[in-house]
Chain A
Amino acid sequence: AQTVTQSQPEMSVQEAETVTLSCTYDTSESDYYLFWYKQPPSRQMILVIRQEAYKQQNATENRFSVNFQKAAKSFSLKISDSQLGDAAMYFCAYRSALMYSGGGADGLTFGKGTHLIIQP
C-alpha cells in the first residue's frame, strides 16, 4: 500500500514571500501521479498542481511549482509571492497509474495536510 507523509502540520509565511511545503511518499510502483490540493475553510478541494511520475520536468502553475525527486520519493510544493488567499490546508496526494486494476487503486491517498498561514 502507498503512504503519503506531510511532516509539517503548520507553516507560516509573510505575504509576498516564498514558502515550501514538504511531502514524501512510499510506493513500489514505477508509474503514478502526484497532486497538491488546497482546501480552504469552505472545505472545497481545489487541485493546485499535478505531476506525472514519468515526466522528469517539474510541473509549474503560475506561482505554484513542485520539486519532484523520484528517487528520493519527494514532492514538495513551492508557493511564490504568497497571497492572503493562499491560506488553507494543503494536501499532498498519490494516485496509482494502474487505472484498471480495480479496488482503490485509482482513488487518491492523501497526506495529513499542512495548514498554511499567511501573515499580512
Chain B
Amino acid sequence: GAVVSQHPSWVICKSGTSVKIECRSLDFQATTMFWYRQFPKQSLMLMATSNEGSKATYEQGVEKDKFLINHASLTLSTLTVTSAHPEDSSFYICSARGPVVGVNTEAFFGQGTRLTVV
C-alpha cells in the first residue's frame, strides 16, 4: 500500500501553547485527508475531512477554531491544536486518500501522534 508519514510521533507541550502535526503522503497525491482522534483504549473518532485547496469540513462537536486544518498541497495536511489544554491530550491519526477511481479508493493511515499537554 501507499505510505503516509505523520510527524511528530509524539509531542509534549505546555498548556496554552499551540502545536502543529503534519501528515504527508509520500508516494501518491492525497486529494482528501482525514483527521481522527483516539482516546486511550477507545475507538477512533473522525474529527474533520479536508480536500486539497478547500476548507476542512468538521464533524459535529469539533471546534474548528481550536483544531485548525490546512491542506494546501496534494501531499501535505497539517493539524494545529491551538491554545492546547490537558484535555486535548490524545492520540491523533491522519489518513490520506488519492483521487477517486471507480468507487473504491482506499485511505492509508499515518502512524499517529501522541500529544500530551502539561
Which of chain B's residues have a CB closer than 8 A to the CB of A52?
104
Name A43's contact: one of B43, B46, B48, B91 (CB within 8 Å): B91
CA gap between A63 and B1 in the complex, in Å: 19
Given A45-B44, A107-B34, A112-B42, 16 additional A-B pairs, CB 8 A: A33-B104, A43-B38, A43-B91, A43-B93, A50-B106, A99-B103, A102-B57, A103-B49, A103-B57, A104-B49, A104-B57, A106-B97, A108-B44, A109-B46, A110-B43, A112-B43
How large, as a class, is the contact surface on chain A? 20 to 34
Give chain B's interface secondary structure class: strand
Q: Which of A12-38 contact B (CB under 8 A)?
A: 33
Q: Are B112 and A44 in contact (CB under 8 A)?
A: yes
CA gap between A107 and B69 in the complex, in Å: 15
What 5 A-B pairs come out closest when comparing CB atoms?
A45-B109, A107-B46, A110-B43, A110-B44, A112-B43
Interface string of B81-116 (1 = CB under 8 A from A): 000000000010101010010011111010110000
CA gap between A113 and B43 in the complex, in Å: 6
Chain B interface residue count, CB cutoff 8 Å, equals 27
Q: Are A104 and B46 in contact (CB under 8 A)?
A: yes
Give 5 CB contacts A-B under 8 Å: A44-B112, A106-B49, A107-B46, A109-B46, A112-B42
CA gap between A18 and B39 in the complex, in Å: 30
CA gap between A52 and B105 in the complex, in Å: 11
Q: Are B103 and A47 in contact (CB under 8 A)?
A: no
Q: Are B100 and A99 in contact (CB under 8 A)?
A: yes
CA gap between A107 and B49 in the complex, in Å: 7
A91 lies within 8 A of chain B by Cβ: yes
Which of chain A's residues have a CB closer than 8 A to the CB of B112?
43-44
Interface string of A66-106 (1 = CB under 8 A from B): 00000000000000000000000001000001010011101
